A and B are shown apart, each in its own frame.
Chain A
Amino acid sequence: MAVPVRELELDLEAFEGPFDLLLALVLRDELDLGEVDVAAIVLAFLERLAEREQLDLDACGEFLVLVAALLELKARALLTGEDPDLEDLDPAEAAAELARRLADYRRIKEAAAWLFERLDEESDRYFRVGPAPLAPRIERRIAPQDPNRLAATIRSLVAEPPAVSLAHLELRFPPVEQFLGRFRSLLARRNRFDFDSEVHGMTRVEQAVAFLAVLELRKGGEVELSQAAAFAPIRVQRNTETKPERNSAWTARSA
Chain B
Amino acid sequence: MDRPLRLVAENPLDQLARTLEALLVVASQPLSSAELADAAAEDAERVDMALGLLTERFAEGRSGIVLEQVAGGWAFRASREAAEACGRMFERPVERGLSQAAMETLAVVAYLGPCSRPEIARLRGVAVDSVVAGLLERGLIAEAGREEGGAVRYRTTPLFERVFGLESLSVLPRLDDLGDADEIRGRLEELAEKRPA
Q: Which of A30, A107, A118 contacts B165 (CB 8 A)?
A: A118
- Which residues from B are CB-within-8-Å of A127? 75-78, 162
Q: Which of B86, B87, B106 contacts A115 (CB 8 A)?
A: B106
- Which residues from B are CB-within-8-Å of A171? none
- Which residues from B are CB-within-8-Å of A130? 27-29
A39–B87 Cα gap in the complex (Å)?
52
- Which residues from A are CB-within-8-Å of B87? 126
Asked if residues A111 and B83 are in contact (CB atoms below 8 Å), the reply is no
A132–B27 Cα gap in the complex (Å)?
8
- Given contacts A105-B123, A132-B28, are A111 and B175 in contact (CB under 8 A)? yes
- Given contacts A118-B164, A121-B165, are A30 and B28 in contact (CB under 8 A)? no
Could you tell me the distance in whole angstroms from the C-beta of A126 to the nearest C-beta in chain B? 4
Range, interface on chain A: 35 or more
- Given contacts A124-B80, A129-B28, are A112 and B103 in contact (CB under 8 A)? yes
Q: Which of A24, A105, A124, A132 contacts B125 (CB 8 A)?
A: A105
Closest B-chain residue to A128, C-beta based?
B28
Asked if residues A21 and B100 are in contact (CB atoms below 8 Å), the reply is no
Contact with B along A98-142 (1 / 0, CB 8 A): 000100110111111111101101111111111111100100000
- Which residues from B are CB-within-8-Å of A129? 28, 94, 159, 162
- Given contact pairs A112-B100, A123-B83, A125-B83, enumerate 11 new A-B contacts (beta carbons under 8 Å): A14-B184, A25-B191, A81-B126, A101-B122, A114-B107, A119-B98, A127-B78, A127-B162, A128-B28, A130-B27, A130-B28
